[in-house]
């Protein structure tokens, strides 16, 4: 799929107004259809006079529809105010980048859409009601459905209060973002390791391609760009990956040999935006979790328990990675490399997870101890030697920061014991940790 089209669809799916707008349209169309049904005479007389349908006069119908319309639009304003207040609270405590998790929440969108859709429905039916002086017409089926929508709105309001109370809970937010990390890992990793071709291009003879655009690389049509390179017997090496910022006039790619139209092909295969997105950027999803932990460790909030909760989710994500492999970024056409894209690797992922938290928790022995405990748990299920070396590097960094920033001997002793358990797990497995 073209990168620009993919970006458009991705942006559209995250718009807050999309579902409410669709529900308003559905309410209008439903009102038109049911009024036509009432006008058609297909509804039998015995059903109109039964207690299951509204069987009042035109004046009562107008009063009823007016009450439904005025109350639903009033409650819609209240719902919107509550949503804004929740967004302000979330932005202050958990970071503004997490606001997208609230604005794209289907529960919030459905609630607002239910009230606005019912309001639109009531107005559309109200315009068709005629009193006796005007040539009486009362759409009995439409009015009955409007009453049902009013009860649905009452149930929706109850749902919204409980839903929003749960959504602003920090543990709920952490779990939602960790689920996004887990989804990104499944999408952007492979179960089998990719082979590396024996013959690679000579990049010293490559031609540099610059880009005058600016913004974050949000979407990349790697398959289309690889096909273009293969068609022209060239190899392209991108210097940026999804999530990187493209600076105007800076090199964006190398190509061997030089081909006319390469810059235009790259522009067609890439889509830039003003912010990072998680659809193809694994580190962005991780950074959202890390931001919650870093804000929790700030002096203004001082909530180490939230930071430790984030560390637990990060450790679980690394355990999910154990059987998975990161793509090498090489796109082959036959046996020839057509495209190389820089990709996130295990070192980069763990650096994104732990560096900022460790740097902001220099004086918190509890958080540093929890980092070591998480690393030990991950080490217990990780057998790849290169990944073990990466975990060892982070454990040593934690110990170094603790020895530099923590002055209480007892706290230093606790950190050293946890580091000793990590090394015991590395050397002898879980049984070796029992004596440490």
CB 249 within 8 A of CB 209: no
Q: What is the pLDDT of residue 156?
A: 93
Q: Rounded distance, CA 57 to CA 138, Å?
A: 7
Q: Which helix (H) or strand (E) holds 207?
A: strand 207-211
- Distance in Å from the first CA to the final CA of the chain: 55
Residue 299 lies in a domain: yes
Domain with 273 in it = 192-314+326-344
Q: Are strands 235-238 and 336-340 parallel, antiparallel or unpaired?
A: parallel
Cβ atoms of residues 295 and 94 within 8 Å: yes
Whether 368 maps to a domain, the answer reads yes
210 and 144, same structural domain? no
For residue 257, is the peptide bond before it cis, meaning its omega torsion is within 30 degrees of 0? yes
Residues 27, 54 within the same domain: yes
Please give the helix or strand (H or E) that residue 299 lies within, else none.
none
> What CA–CA distance (Å, rounded) separates 242 from 217?
5
Q: Is residue 180 part of a domain?
A: no
Between CA 359 and CA 290 the distance in angstroms is 12
Q: Are residues 56 and 30 in the same domain?
A: yes
Which helix (H) or strand (E) segment holds residue 211: the answer is strand 207-211
What is the pLDDT at residue 26?
95
- Domain match, 15 and 129 both: yes
Q: What is the pLDDT of residue 42?
A: 78
Q: What is the pLDDT of residue 161?
A: 84
Residues in a beta bridge with 272: 217
Strand partners, 130: 137
Q: Both 26 and 118 in a single domain?
A: yes
Cα–Cα distance, 22 to 47 (Å, whole number): 31
CA distance 147 to 142: 9
Beta partners for residue 209, in sequence order: 253
Full 3-state SS string of 165-181: HHHCCHHHHHHHHHHHH
Query: How far is it, in rounded angstroms, from Cα 212 to Cα 275?
Result: 18
Q: What is the pLDDT of residue 194?
A: 74
The CATH number of whichever domain residue 267 belongs to comes to 3.90.1170.30
How many CA atoms are closer than 13 Å to the CA of 209, on its beta-carbon side?
A: 24
Per-residue pLDDT at 120: 94
pLDDT score at 165: 77
d(CA 112, CA 102): 13
Q: Is 320 inside any structural domain?
A: no
Distance, in Å, from the CA atom of 48 to the CA atom of 56, rounded to the nearest integer, reads 10
Domain tally, the chain? 3
Pick from 326, 327, 340: nearest CA to 200? 340
Residues 338 and 369 in one domain: no
pLDDT per position as a tens digit, 347-371: 999 999 999 999 998 778 999 999 9
User: HSE-up of 420 (CA within 13 Å, CB side)?
Assistant: 11
Whether residues 107 and 36 share a domain: the answer is: yes
Question: How far is residue 52's CA from residue 409's CA, in Å, rounded to a whole number?
Answer: 78
Whether residue 251 is contained in a domain is answered as: yes
The answer on 330 and 376 residing in a single domain is no
Do 339 and 377 reside in the same domain of the chain? no
Task: Give the pLDDT score at 199.
Answer: 64
- 21 lies in the same domain as 149: yes
Whether 90 and 177 have beta carbons less than 8 Å apart is answered as no
Indicate whether 138 and 196 sit together in one domain: no
Residue 388 in domain: yes
Among 136, 168, 200, the domain boundary falls at 168
CA distance 195 to 118: 57
User: What residues are paired with 217 via a beta bridge?
Assistant: 272
350 belongs to a structural domain:
no
Whether residue 2 is contained in a domain is answered as no
- What's the pLDDT at 29? 95
Q: What is the mean pLDDT of each run of 10 residues along the chain (436 residues)?
A: 71 80 94 88 72 79 90 87 74 66 80 93 90 77 91 92 78 83 86 71 84 90 90 91 91 90 90 80 85 86 88 93 89 86 91 92 88 94 92 94 88 91 86 68
Q: What is the pLDDT of residue 94?
A: 66
In terms of domains, do 27 and 147 share one?
yes
Provide DSSP, 142-172.
Answer: HHHHHHHHHHHHHHHHHHHHHHHHHHTSHHH
Alpha-carbon distances, residue 418 vs 130, 357, 371, 381 (angstroms) = 79, 17, 9, 17
Conformational region of residue 243, where left means phi above 0, alpha means psi within -120 to 50, and beta covers everything else? left
User: Which letter, b or e, does each residue of 374-388 get, where b requires 16 or more Cβ atoms within 10 Å of its Cβ?
Assistant: bbbbbbeebeeeebe
């Amino acid at each position: 799929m073209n990168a620009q089209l993919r970006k458009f669809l991705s942006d559209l799916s995250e718009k807050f107004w999309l579902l409410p707008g669709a529900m308003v349209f559905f309410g209008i169309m439903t009102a038109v259809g049911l009024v036509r049904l009432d006008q058609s005479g297909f509804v039998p007389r015995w059903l109109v006079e039964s207690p299951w349908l509204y069987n009042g006069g035109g004046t009562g119908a107008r009063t009823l529809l007016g009450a439904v319309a005025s109350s639903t639009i009033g409650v819609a304003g209240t719902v919107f105010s509550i949503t804004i207040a929740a967004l302000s609270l979330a932005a202050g405590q958990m970071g503004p980048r997490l606001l997208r998790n609230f604005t794209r929440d289907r529960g919030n969108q459905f609630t607002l859409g239910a009230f606005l859709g019912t309001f639109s429905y009531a107005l559309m039916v109200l315009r068709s009601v005629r009193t006796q002086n005007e040539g009486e017409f009362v759409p009995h089926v439409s009015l009955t459905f409007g009453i049902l929508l009013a009860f649905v709105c009452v149930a929706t309001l109850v749902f919204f209060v409980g839903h929003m109370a749960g959504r602003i809970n920090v543990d709920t937010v952490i779990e939602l973002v960790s689920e996004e990390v887990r989804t990104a890992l499944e999408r952007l990793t492979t179960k089998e390791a990719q082979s590396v071709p024996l013959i690679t291009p000579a990049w010293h003879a490559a031609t540099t391609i610059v880009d005058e655009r600016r913004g974050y690389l949000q979407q990349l049509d790697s398959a289309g760009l690889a096909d273009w390179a293969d068609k022209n017997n060239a190899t392209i090496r991108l210097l940026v990956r999804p999530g990187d910022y493209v600076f105007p006039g800076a090199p964006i790619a190398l190509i061997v040999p030089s081909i006319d139209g390469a810059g235009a092909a790259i522009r067609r295969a890439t889509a830039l935006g003003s912010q990072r997105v998680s659809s193809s950027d694994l580190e962005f999803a991780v950074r959202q979790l890390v931001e919650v932990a870093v804000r929790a460790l700030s002096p203004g909030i001082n909530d180490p328990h939230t930071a430790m909760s984030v560390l637990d989710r990060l450790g679980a994500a690394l355990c999910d990675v154990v059987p998975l492999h990161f793509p090498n970024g090489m796109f082959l056409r036959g046996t020839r490399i057509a495209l190389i894209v820089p990709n996130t690797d295990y070192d980069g992922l763990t650096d994104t997870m732990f560096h900022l938290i460790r740097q902001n928790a220099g004086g918190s022995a509890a958080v540093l101890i929890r980092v070591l405990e998480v690393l030990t748990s991950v080490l217990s299920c990780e057998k790849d030697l290169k990944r073990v070396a990466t975990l060892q590097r982070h454990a040593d960094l934690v110990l170094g920061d603790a020895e530099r920033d923590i002055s209480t001997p007892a706290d230093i002793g606790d950190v050293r014991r946890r580091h000793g358990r990590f090394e015991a797990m590395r050397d002898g497995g879980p049984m070796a940790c029992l004596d440490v």
